[in-house]
Amino acid sequence: MKVAIYCRLSEEDRHKLSENDDSNSIQNQKAMLTQYSNDKGWEIFDIYSDDDYTGSDRNRPEFNRLLEDAKNGRFDIILCKTQSRFTRELELVEKYIHGLFPLWGIRFVSIVDNADTDVKGNKKSRQINGLVNEWYLEDMSENIRSVLTNRRKNGFHIGAFALYGYKKDPNQKGHLIIDEEAATVVREVFNLFVQGYGKTVIARMLNDRGIPNPTEYKRLKGLRYQQPKRKNSTLWKYSAISDMLINEIYIGNMVQGKYGSISYKTKINKPRPRSQWYIVEGTHEPIIDRELWDRVQVLVKERAKPFDTGEVGLFARKVRCAYCGYTMRSTKNATGLRAFKCSNRHVSRDSCIGSYISLNRLEGYILKELNRLASEYLDKDEAEQNIEFCNNLKEQKSILSSDIEIYQKKLEDCTKGLRDIYLDKVKGIISESDFIDLSKDFSAEKERLSHIIAENEKKLLEIDDKILLGDNRREIIESYANLEHLNREIVELLIDHIKVYRRIPGTKEVPVEIHWNF
């Protein structure tokens, strides 16, 4: 019988260890499980070991390698010290230990809590173990949430990084002090706004002078800030100026809890209503005096443009600038008609050459192209269409698989980053509090990458389903041929996104690249 040994050590375990206690160490787990395997006469296929991962982390690299090898039948038994070393989630207990492992012919054994899928009547014990471990995760999450909530209510700053214009007080944990270099820029932004300059103009002025935006400023100061990997990510934008002008932290109030997690099982956050924010006045020195703040708030309110209907626009979030990739904003042109433009070109001379198209012209292009495709497609031989359909899907699968590999590599780099800062903490290069703050950001980035990987894997499954179901494009195209107008439902169904270029000089033609969903 071939056995796969799985070990896991979390950061929490590491904190529990003393110099004379290695009962939870990776080395001790390996020794215990190796001895157990030898006593049973099992051949050790491989040892899978995840260091510094929680039992609720589904993206443990060795854990996933173990599952892949189990699926491919490369061994007969999975051996762990306890069931919680494999997972603390009851959902995964049911999915793998009680579901897929029996189908794959895999026996699961954990020594300390006597879990063994070959023992009849042992299932209830495994389920109870899973339930207890699930409760542990929930209780731990609630305890952490309670501590953080209490600190927020008392006005302590608990974020990994201070807001632009401030820095963490090295002598008082949870307290902010002014970073004069950045605070000078903040004061300038507020003063320019009350002088009548618009948010986009202010952004362009800062970019023209080469002043780094808040994220780039953190990076230049040596902070381990995860910089967004996209073009022009170091530039000031309209949104950055807009957020700055209404942030109460600049008048000395601590404002936290604007976002909250959906569940203790995920780090994905969602916006919370203002009534649920934690606002404590006078916790730190203000950068902006109250008189200037009040004048700015009046101007912000006056310039706010209310929505006409509250409905989602026809092409909302679908239209992108072909030059910089940013989503184009809907606005009204000089004649009062709706149009899409890339505002990115206004924030810096070198950021983007810009693109522009009226809504009516864009709708006309799409209807014309849809009718052309319908005429061309419906004339094709159905067998030829099916071959083309399968080839296109296979190409999409190849691209998605390649993307997944890239993001998995980034995920591994992020994991390495976590280990590096842990070593920095051990060596005394960074403090315990800095380690906790930095690890939160690495964990958040891991969550983001994991979410992208999961979404791409979901798309792969959807493509497989499409291949199984066959080509239904003929039915779709027939349903929407000869349309005279579009609506939001049709746009969502047919169009993934649209790229818009600049108008061809000497003509009224604007090149458009439509990426269909079929």
Q: Which one of 4-8, 55-59, 115-119 scores highest in mean pLDDT?
A: 4-8
- State the pTM of this model: 0.44
Q: For residues 373-406, b (16+ Cβ closer than 10 Å) or e, as one string?
A: bbeebeeeeeeeeeeebeeebeeeeeebeeebee
3-state class (DSSP) for residue 131: helix
pLDDT tens digits along 393-445: 677 788 888 888 888 888 888 788 777 787 777 777 777 777 777 777 777 77
> Do 230 and 327 contact (CB within 8 A), yes or no?
no
Indicate the DSSP class of residue 96. Answer: I
> Do 277 and 255 contact (CB within 8 A), yes or no?
yes
How are beta strands 319-321 and 495-500 bridged, if at all? Answer: parallel
| Separation CA 222–CA 204 (nearest Å) | 25
What band does 11 get if pLDDT is binned at 50, 70 and 90? low
Return the amino acid letter for 211.
I
Per-residue pLDDT, 307: 40
Q: Which of 76, 75, 172 is nearest to 118 (CA)?
A: 76
Per-residue pLDDT, 138: 56
Mean pLDDT of 311-323: 78
Q: Would you list the domain boundaries of the chain?
A: 2-149, 154-303, 319-516
What band does 88 get if pLDDT is binned at 50, 70 and 90? confident
What band does 448 get if pLDDT is binned at 50, 70 and 90? confident
Per-residue pLDDT, 431: 77
pLDDT tens digits along 485-508: 888 778 877 888 899 998 888 888
DSSP 176-220: EEE-HHHHHHHHHHHHHHHTT--HHHHHHHHHHTTPPPHHHHHHH
Q: Which one of 20-34, 140-154, 178-192, 466-480 scores highest in mean pLDDT?
A: 178-192
Q: Count the helices and strands in the chain (H runs, E runs).
A: 17, 17
Q: Which one of 165-169, 273-277, 304-308 scores highest in mean pLDDT?
A: 165-169
Q: What is the 3-state secondary structure (H, E, C) of 260-305?
A: EEEECCEEEEEECCHHHCEEECCCCCCCCCHHHHHHHHHHHHHHCC
What band does 452 get if pLDDT is binned at 50, 70 and 90? confident
Per-residue pLDDT, 118: 84
Residues 154-303, CATH architecture: Alpha-Beta Complex (3.90)
Mean pLDDT of 192-221: 87
| Separation CA 178–CA 163 (nearest Å) | 10
What is the CA 452 to chain-centroid distance, rounded? Answer: 7
Range of lowest pLDDT (118-127, 215-224, 414-423): 118-127
> Do 468 and 509 contact (CB within 8 A), yes or no?
no
pLDDT at residue 350 tops 70? no
Class of domain 2-149: alpha beta
Mean pLDDT of 334-360: 77
Mean pLDDT of 266-292: 82
| Separation CA 255–CA 176 (nearest Å) | 12
3-state class (DSSP) for residue 141: helix
pLDDT at residue 387 tops 70? no
3-state class (DSSP) for residue 495: strand
The CA radius of gyration of the chain, in Å to the nearest whole number, is: 28
What band does 77 get if pLDDT is binned at 50, 70 and 90? very high
Q: Is 110 exposed, middle or buried (0-12, 13-18, 19+ CB in 10 A)?
A: buried
pLDDT tens digits along 182-200: 999 999 999 998 888 888 8
